[in-house]
Amino acid sequence: MPVPATDLITAFRARGMKITPQRQLLCSLIEEAHDHPTVETLHLRAMQKMPTISLKTVYTTLTELAEFGLIRLVPLGTGSLRVDPDPTPHAHLVCRDCGSIIDQPLEPNLAPAPAQAEDLGFIVEERDVIYRGRCAACAKKSAAQISEEGDVGGHA
């Protein structure tokens, strides 16, 4: 359940921040981003509509929205931050090979914070649950490759 673009815009207005065309564009792109794009990818999409928009502006805007708690900027270990328009708790399946990401509901018996955290005085603000492995397509591809290697000259 991503936050609608209008609500993202409203968040800037509510904080006395300016509603620039760049922010409007990015907010609508974020609403439509159901594929956890990298920041760079979102920048490329933005440039289709506004060729002069800078990568720095994209980073800045995303960071602001993440601080407002309206999106999530998730470090999934793929080398770059992923933009997640859904700020509500959920897990991620991350493919090692192609980097694709699939949302998953959180295990209901996973506590919002570990029992010992409070004792330690640690204040939990956020939770990431990441399952790494191979998506169906990449698992298939890598299985095919292995059988090909074992089968010397099989396709010659």
Partner DNA sequence: TAGTAGTTAACAACTCTTGTAGTTTACAGT
Partner DNA sequence: ACTGTAAACTACAAGAGTTGTTAACTACTA
Site string for a second copy, 53-92 (x = CB under 8 A): ----------------------xxx-------------x-
Q: Residue holding tokens 């998506």? A: 135
Closer residue to DNA in complex, CB, 79/121: 79
Here the tokens at position 62 are 């995303």
Q: Which position among 11, 30, 37, 57 is part of the footprint of DNA (CB under 7 A)?
A: 57
Q: Which position among 7, 28, 31, 39 is part of the footprint of DNA (CB under 7 A)?
A: 39
Q: Which position among 9, 39, 47, 130 is part of the footprint of a second copy (CB under 8 A)?
A: 130
CB of 142 to DNA, least distance (A): 18
Helical packing angle, 39-49 and 55-68, nearest 10°:
120
Burial class (CB in 10 A: 0-12, 13-18, 19+), 10: middle
CB atoms inside a 10 Å sphere around CB 35? 12
